[in-house]
Amino acid sequence: MTERLDRIIEFLEVGDGLKAVERAGYLSDGSRHETDSDHTWHMALFALLLAGETGVDLDLGRVLSMVLIHDMVEIFAGDVVVYDVAAREAAKEREREAAERLYGILPGDLRDHLQGLWEEFEERKTQEAQFARALDRLQAFAQNVIAGGKSWRERGITREVSAEVNREVRDSFPVLTAAFETLQQRADRQQLWAAPATGTPKQQGLPPDRDQSTL
Amino acid sequence: MTERLDRIIEFLEVGDGLKAVERAGYLSDGSRHETDSDHTWHMALFALLLAGETGVDLDLGRVLSMVLIHDMVEIFAGDVVVYDVAAREAAKEREREAAERLYGILPGDLRDHLQGLWEEFEERKTQEAQFARALDRLQAFAQNVIAGGKSWRERGITREVSAEVNREVRDSFPVLTAAFETLQQRADRQQLWAAPATGTPKQQGLPPDRDQSTL
């Protein structure tokens, strides 16, 4: 028991690092950037409130478990989801190494369980994973809206770029489509995005080295 | 659907406030205080890792649901768990009013569900609630240990005061008893608590206006 518990406690201690990983988005009062722990807690709250609205019988414990650990590799790998395919593949490799290191702290059965949850999430293997992935984007989108678009404008993110990034998850579940729609209308009314560039091709598509998870 | 979804989105937006409620404890690097969202995420991770170690068949979805919302009343009521009975009763009343206001944002069925989860947690009605309550203390205790006792010493919290606060939950589940024991031994080795007062009665028992949840 003792060695097993020591490993669990060490993992929980390493987990404290998630509170220090800063994201591009801001709190709604603009006072500081969101952290990965803020985002993860909030995303879990989205899951708790919206799972029952999907019309699908989702395993809430499994959804929440995936949500809770989905960004933990960033404790070692940093917040690294970038736009071009080569860089994305490199980030994926770094995250896979981070996952080995992170989950390797745990006793074998718990390592397999958590690494399995992370892979389920990354590979969208189940409806629970598809729901959790969509919430990862929805929370980030909502956070940008409630923070008045501060991060969008700072980073030159236009309505079109934002829509492109969320396209793959927007239609995953009807209630999430409706939530994106509601928030997008609010962003339109308040003109929260960066203005589209006129004639300069560098504003077309995603800017380089941008964390897509926060668009 | 629209009004229902609008209420859910409003609730999620209010939830952003949890990220701004500061606690007495620090991050492990001492760089800043923990927030309620940090604490809640971390406590949920404790639940995910330790639920299977209890030897009891706990409903993980229910445990995590309770954990996720357990401090949300503090968005309106502040971080207010104090030591003397009268003040505690007043805080309880404020939290009950905050709960009405907070959960009243939601459609009736979701309001009842979340308020029910909060009451289950507060009143320790089920094994899931007892487990979640114990983790509330265990995470705070562990956080103080990994942060090198900074908050304990700043606030004059001795080993005895800390032990007294955690007494009611320490023996709730054998694995949590063992976890408290492991962490306490580390705190003893590193001498993390404030030194006991010699002869001054004000250091006996809990100091006034102190948030017990962080001891």
Which residues in A lie closer than 8 A to residue B45 (C-beta atoms)?
12, 15, 68-69
The CATH fold assigned to B2-198 is: Hypothetical protein af1432 (1.10.3210)
pLDDT at B79 over 90: no
Q: Which residues contact A130 (CB under 8 A, 6 or more apart)?
A: A124, A172, A173
pTM as predicted: 0.92
Whether residue B1 lies within 8 A of chain A, CB to CB, comes out as yes
Dist CA A137 CA A163 (whole Å): 11
Of A17, A45, A53, the CB nearest to B12: A45
Tens of pLDDT along A182-200? 999 999 999 999 999 775 5
| Run means of pLDDT, 10 residues per run, chain A, 215 residues | 93 98 95 97 98 98 98 86 61 91 98 97 96 97 97 92 91 96 97 82 45 54
Which residues in B lie closer than 8 A to residue A46 (C-beta atoms)?
12
- Report whether A97 contacts A124 (CB < 8 A): no
Tens of pLDDT along A28-52? 999 999 999 999 999 999 999 999 9
User: Which range among A50-54, B21-25, B87-91, B136-140 shows the weakest confidence by mean pLDDT?
Assistant: B87-91
- Report whether A97 contacts A24 (CB < 8 A): no
- Amino acid at residue number A178: A
Whether residue A175 lies within 8 A of chain B, CB to CB, comes out as yes
Dist CA B103 CA B118 (whole Å): 10
Look at residues A116, A18, A121 and name the one whose alpha carbon lies nearest to residue B45.
Answer: A18
ipTM above 0.95, yes or no: no
B78 pLDDT band, cuts 50/70/90, is confident
Q: How many Cα atoms occupy the beta-carbon half-sphere of B79 within 13 Å? A: 19
The tokens for A144 are: 């940008």
Whether residue B31 lies within 8 A of chain A, CB to CB, comes out as yes
Q: Which residues contact B203 (CB under 8 A, 6 or more apart)?
A: B156, B158, B196, B197
* Element holding B186 (H helix, E strand): helix B174-190
pLDDT at residue number A191: 96
- Report whether A27 contacts B18 (CB < 8 A): no
Whether residue A55 lies within 8 A of chain B, CB to CB, comes out as no
